A and B are shown apart, each in its own frame.
Chain A
Amino acid sequence: MKISKDVMKDMYLRMVRIREFESKAQNLFAEGKIPGFVHLYLGEEAVATGVCECLRKDDYITSTHRGHGHIVAKGGNLKFMMAELFGKATGYCKGKGGSMHIADRDMGILGANGIVGAGQNIAVGAGLSAIYRGTDQVCACFFGDGSTNQGTFHESLNLAAIWKLPIIFVCENNNYGISMSQSRHQAIKDIADRGAAYGIPGIAIDGNDVMAVYEAATEAIARARKGQGPTLIECKTYRWRGHFEGDPAIYKPKEEQAAWLKKDPLPRLKSFILENKIMTETELSDIDKQVKGEIVEAVQFAEESPEPTVESGVHDIYSDIVEEVRSR
């Protein structure tokens, strides 16, 4: 597949953005500036990038607890994201959601999700909505290997298959469901095989090769837009960090980690771009610089933003009812 220079450049930009955002989040969490839990997407950047590169602004995504990468790749605003991680009033969710619940309706981001597998059923609703309204929108549904053992996986793939919904089920097989490796949590090697159980195409690809992801997503999205139904794409990748920041990940063999670090998707794309003279070193480092600036701005925005007011804690539960703040 011939991929244009503009697309290559854009994919490089998106991957660097995710990498830098996540590296910054890692440091900020370690410094105690981000409360709660943070699940980082480091090492998996090629998956979100390759898929979202093929999506339009009006297409949908559903995401996971490890959602920063998807949101950045779909075009989420870094300032609002960072402010939400800080729990600030200016964050995407006014400080009510945090890392695991970022959504942006205007960008088609139907939310990161703290419940493993839950986004799969929501994607079914988005897909239903698209065909019902007669649009050619699609929904990319991101989820991990661990979630393919949830009932939601079965329910949603089956329903999407019989209704021929425009959904791309993107399994990020990062080899771990929290501490349980794939070989311990399921008896199959290729999750893509499960597509056959629903009569839909299932393909397994190298999830650290952004061009392979782009190619597979392009094809699946084209099928979906034509009304030919869902596809299951299994992207083999690796979670560099623990399940959450603070997890020492003693269950990951050192050799395994080292081998996967060598397969870092970012230098891989970079060398391809340079070797094929798609862009110059200078062009690439300009992108790096631009992203570094964006991250500095995002952190500054988050740090300088106001905390939410206590009263705001009872707003937005309903469209029309504000609960009373009871005296204690």
Chain B
Amino acid sequence: MKTMSYAEAIREGMSIRMRENPNVLLFGEDVGAFGGCFGVSAGMFAEFGAKRVRDTPISEGAIIGAAVGSAATGLRPIAELMFCDFLTVGMDQLVNQAAKMRYMFGGKISLPMVVRLPAGAGVGAAAQHSQSLEAWVTHVPGLKVVFPSTPQDALGLMLSAIDDDNPVMYVEHKAMYATKGEVASMNPIPLGKGDIKHTGKDVTVIATGKMVHEALDAAKKLDAEGISIEVLDPRSLYPLDKKLIEQSLSKTHKVIIMTEETRRGGYGGEISAIIGEEMFDYLDAAIVRIGSLDSPVPFSPILEKAYLPNAQDIINAVHKME
């Protein structure tokens, strides 16, 4: 068993596949000798060289477009956007091209490509470098979306994302890059398989990304009160492991959904709707959604802290449910 940081696990996942398959390559802004804005690809340029770890100009449309065109013609590219927020600049290539090409062309073109999206707040990066925009991509048929919360999941999901024949959006939380964890398995984690991060019987907390850790923190504190919450991390937002959610709800009958995105229009709402439509009979209480405030991400550390949801929000919600 190894201990790795979240960033190291992402890097290891990419490197494993690049060592095995010469058609896998990484490109994006400053991912080369510079090692990426957050150092995620540090050392990869030295190992794989300039051909396979390529710096691009600041051209997000061309970065995603290059992934689309190269994936359509035999490569398995990994494109890094320096910040998830820069999706806006490359959105056409993602939404109108990558997501739709297989369908529009009658299933005849495959796009095995990964787009890495460093998301999330908590590092004082303000409104244009902190967003969690996963709902934008989960909304689009043709895209798959994963969001690891631990180094183990970061590695296993990266392997599966690269192996997949569809465009996979790999959301990574930038405030977790230094988070360390044990990596017991070097195997891929199938897309669409959630994970119970903490077993409980009273309330299910479905949490994604960094919020998984807030939920685990809440679980510890609530344990002391004799309340046992189950922390369910879907890991893949699409496809979503509905079966695991159903299994958990059949036991707890209560659910809190916690995501870092602004709550309005977020993917937490979609999970809530699925539970309401398909699993209503299990529920003994109204579904609770916890997310960030419906505001742009503020800069001031005090404001940013107030913007973000945390473990206490879960504890308060659980108390209200009791």
Give A residues with C-beta under 8 Å from B. Answer: 60, 62, 91-97, 101-105, 110-111, 113-115, 118, 120-130, 132-133, 139, 151-152, 155-156, 158-159, 162, 315-321, 323
A–B pairs, 5, beta carbons within 8 Å: A92-B108, A105-B72, A118-B92, A129-B73, A132-B51
Residue of B51, B73, B142 with highest tally of chain A CB at under 10 A: B73
CB nearest to B55 among chain A residues: A162
Q: Once the chains bind, are B65 and A121 in contact (CB under 8 Å)?
A: yes
A163 to chain B, nearest CB (A): 8
In angstroms, Cα B166 to Cα A133, docked, is 21
Q: Once the chains bind, are B72 and A159 in contact (CB under 8 Å)?
A: no
B75-111 contacts to A, CB under 8 A, are 75, 77, 92-93, 96-97, 101-110
In angstroms, Cα B73 to Cα A125, docked, is 8
Which chain A positions have C-beta within 8 A of B56? Answer: 159
Which chain B positions have C-beta within 8 A of A114? Answer: 96
- The reply on B311 being an interface residue by CB < 8 A is no
In angstroms, Cα B54 to Cα A207, docked, is 36
CB nearest to A126 among chain B residues: B69
Q: Once the chains bind, are A111 and B101 in contact (CB under 8 Å)?
A: yes
In angstroms, Cα B70 to Cα A124, docked, is 8
Which chain A positions have C-beta within 8 A of B93? Answer: 118, 121-122
In angstroms, Cα B109 to Cα A103, docked, is 9
Which chain B positions have C-beta within 8 A of A95? Answer: 106
In angstroms, Cα B27 to Cα A129, docked, is 13
B150 to chain A, nearest CB (A): 25
- The reply on B25 being an interface residue by CB < 8 A is yes
Q: Once the chains bind, are B105 and A155 in contact (CB under 8 Å)?
A: no
Q: Once the chains bind, are B107 and A316 in contact (CB under 8 Å)?
A: yes
Q: Once the chains bind, are A156 and B106 in contact (CB under 8 Å)?
A: no
Q: Once the chains bind, are A126 and B70 in contact (CB under 8 Å)?
A: yes
CB nearest to A314 among chain B residues: B141
CB nearest to B192 among chain A residues: A321
Q: Once the chains bind, are B61 and A155 in contact (CB under 8 Å)?
A: yes
- The reply on B68 being an interface residue by CB < 8 A is yes
Which chain A positions have C-beta within 8 A of B68? Answer: 121-122, 125
- The reply on B133 being an interface residue by CB < 8 A is no
Which chain A positions have C-beta within 8 A of B73? Answer: 60, 110, 125-126, 129-130
- The reply on B74 being an interface residue by CB < 8 A is yes
- The reply on B226 being an interface residue by CB < 8 A is no
In angstroms, Cα B218 to Cα A53, docked, is 67
Which chain B positions have C-beta within 8 A of A128? Answer: 66, 69-70, 75
In angstroms, Cα B65 to Cα A130, docked, is 15
Q: Once the chains bind, are A320 and B165 in contact (CB under 8 Å)?
A: yes
Q: Once the chains bind, are B106 and A124 in contact (CB under 8 Å)?
A: no
Q: Which of A105, A120, A132 is in CB contact (< 8 Å) with B70?
A: A132
Q: Once the chains bind, are A152 and B69 in contact (CB under 8 Å)?
A: no
Q: Once the chains bind, are B105 and A125 in contact (CB under 8 Å)?
A: no
Residue of A96, A102, A114, A139 with highest tally of chain B CB at under 10 A: A96
In angstroms, Cα B106 to Cα A91, docked, is 9
- The reply on B312 being an interface residue by CB < 8 A is no
Q: Once the chains bind, are B66 and A159 in contact (CB under 8 Å)?
A: yes
Residue of B62, B96, B97 with highest tally of chain A CB at under 10 A: B62
Which chain B positions have C-beta within 8 A of A130? Answer: 73
Which chain B positions have C-beta within 8 A of A323? Answer: 141
Q: Which of A93, A159, A315 is in CB contact (< 8 Å) with B104?
A: A93
CB nearest to A158 among chain B residues: B57
Which chain A positions have C-beta within 8 A of B106? Answer: 91-97, 316
CB nearest to B75 among chain A residues: A129
In angstroms, Cα B97 to Cα A315, docked, is 17
Q: Once the chains bind, are A115 and B96 in contact (CB under 8 Å)?
A: yes
Which chain B positions have C-beta within 8 A of A97? Answer: 104-106
Q: A128-B70, A317-B141 given as contacts; is B108 within 8 A of A105 (CB)?
A: yes
Q: A122-B69, A125-B70 given as contacts; is B64 within 8 A of A94 (CB)?
A: no
A60 to chain B, nearest CB (A): 7
Residue of B65, B68, B72, B109 with highest tally of chain A CB at under 10 A: B65
CB nearest to B166 among chain A residues: A318
CB nearest to A102 among chain B residues: B105
A103-B104, A128-B70, A316-B102 given; 6 more Cβ-contact pairs under 8 Å: A60-B73, A97-B104, A118-B65, A121-B69, A122-B68, A122-B97
Q: A125-B65, A155-B59, A156-B62 given as contacts; is B97 within 8 A of A317 (CB)?
A: no
